[in-house]
Structure 1
Amino acid sequence: MIEQSGKANGIRRKRSWVRTPPPEHTPSTEDWVRIAREMLISEGIVAVKIDRLAKVAGVTRGGFYWRFKSRDELLEALIEDWREWNTTPMLRVLQSDAPPKDRMRGLAELYIEGRGFSEAYDSAVRAWAALSPPIAEIVRAVDGIRLQALEELFRDVGFDADEAMIRARITYFHQVGYYAIGMQETAEDRWALVDRYTAVLFSNLMK
């Protein structure tokens, strides 16, 4: 980065900084977010510090500032990464044109196979939210988006708004609780229950 200053019409201009291209081999923005994500998952948000990130990246603190103005800017990128990583694939499945049962099975695949959803990442962000009201607000908003997509799925099955809302909550709260309490089951065991879960959630047992 280069400092610029000078005079114009006899008035001294305030100093400003012009961002120059980073040196070769400087970690990319995506690299910094990935390192922060891994640190958040393994050690929690308090561990996500510039010095520690730079050490893992193998550069000095200066290498960090080629990509971010501050730790806060990195954390903004990190929460956006979580939102994209753990929500966009879910919405893509739930809002597709596939039959409802296929969409439910696609959702199960995201959770069970971990392709398009990371339970560890979700848990780490929820732990972060417990320490930060602004992050908690973002998490609540994302939960609302996910629940809305599930409600639409159940309305497509034929349930009214109230029934769809209840079944969406059962589905979503069950899954969040599943990894929050650390359930230990093999993927094979979980897949064996998917059709049963779907049959129960798609049926109206009150009739």
Structure 2
Amino acid sequence: MATSSETLSTEDWLAVARETLIREGVEAVKIDRLARACNVTRGGFYWRFKSREDLLDQLLKDWRTSNTTPFLAALSGPGTPAERYRSLIRLWLDEHDFNPDYDTAVRNWANSSPKVAAVVHTVDDIRMDALRGVFLDAGYDEDEALVRARITYFHQVGYYALGLNEAQKARAGLADIYYRILTGFELEDGRPVRNGRTRSAR
């Protein structure tokens, strides 16, 4: 990382703030600590931000964009509803474009900030609505699409909140079972099944 106040980019500062938030919580995201981590003076911070509150606002915006854009891209991409759902599974399993630790850290932050809690609530609604759209496209009615979207989303949030630390291989090995139970789709053709009868997707 660059060490000149002028050459440190906004992203440089946000990267350090993000790591600090994930590792130690929002109370540790302080100007002095970040400046020391960046090897610059406190004054260097003000090249990029008006205040700590400005930094926190931009950090929250960074989370909203970086962890939600890939989520929506997976569900709105090409392919059948089943293929799009599997794209989301890969996103969660790979943990490259989606950072679950960042999600958890922001949710913990929301416990002490109504403002952050409101943003998290909005983001959760956006993500669940995208999931609901996949289930609607698969042929489920409005209510069932909503419930399946919620169950899928609540399951994943809970998985991270519980900190299961399951080995990647073990987690991937259960993916098809989760897929079948959470979606009701057949593994072979990706169409939803009810009472033993396959239903046509929209």
TM-score, normalising length from structure 1?
Answer: 0.85
Tell me what 1:39 maps to.
20
Taking the aligned partners of 2:193 and 2:151, their CA distance within structure 1 comes to: 14
Taking the aligned partners of 1:50 and 1:24, their CA distance within structure 2 comes to: 13
The DSSP-based 3-state class of the residue aligned with 2:174 is: helix
1:67 is aligned to 2:71: no
Instruction: Point out where structure 2 has 5 or more consecutive residues left out of the alignment.
Output: 185-191, 197-202
Tell me what 1:143 maps to.
124
Deviation at 1:196, TM superposition (A): 2.0
The DSSP-based 3-state class of the residue aligned with 1:147 is: helix
- Flag the 1:126–1:24 CA change in 2: closer, same or farther, 3 A: closer
The DSSP-based 3-state class of the residue aligned with 2:115 is: helix
Which gives a bigger RCO, structure 1 or 2 (Cα 8 Å, sep 6+)? 2
Of the structure 1 ranges 104-113 and 33-42, higher mean CA displacement relative to structure 2 is found in: 104-113
Taking the aligned partners of 2:67 and 2:125, their CA distance within structure 1 comes to: 14
1:97 is aligned to 2:78: yes
TM-score, normalising length from structure 2?
Answer: 0.87
Taking the aligned partners of 2:33 and 2:82, their CA distance within structure 1 comes to: 45
Tell me what 2:139 maps to.
158
Give the number of equivalent residue pairs: 185
Structure whose alpha-carbon radius of gyration is higher: 1
Taking the aligned partners of 1:124 and 1:104, their CA distance within structure 2 comes to: 25
Bigger proportion of residues as strand: 1
Question: Which of 127, 131, 135 pairs up with 2:112?
Answer: 131
- The residue type equivalent to 1:154 in the other structure is F
What is the CA RMSD across the aligned residues, in angstroms? 1.4
The DSSP-based 3-state class of the residue aligned with 1:131 is: coil
Structure 1 stretches of 4+ with a deviation exceeding 6 A read none
- The residue type equivalent to 1:45 in the other structure is V
Question: Which of 76, 80, 83 pairs up with 2:61?
Answer: 80
Taking the aligned partners of 1:31 and 1:161, their CA distance within structure 2 comes to: 44
Tell me what 1:188 maps to.
169
Question: 1:109, 1:115 within 8 Å by CA — same for their partners in 2?
Answer: no
1:14-53 correspondence runs (5 A): 26-53=7-34
Deviation at 1:97, TM superposition (A): 2.2
Taking the aligned partners of 2:5 and 2:124, their CA distance within structure 1 comes to: 40
Taking the aligned partners of 1:155 and 1:97, their CA distance within structure 2 comes to: 16
- Flag the 1:96–1:181 CA change in 2: closer, same or farther, 3 A: same
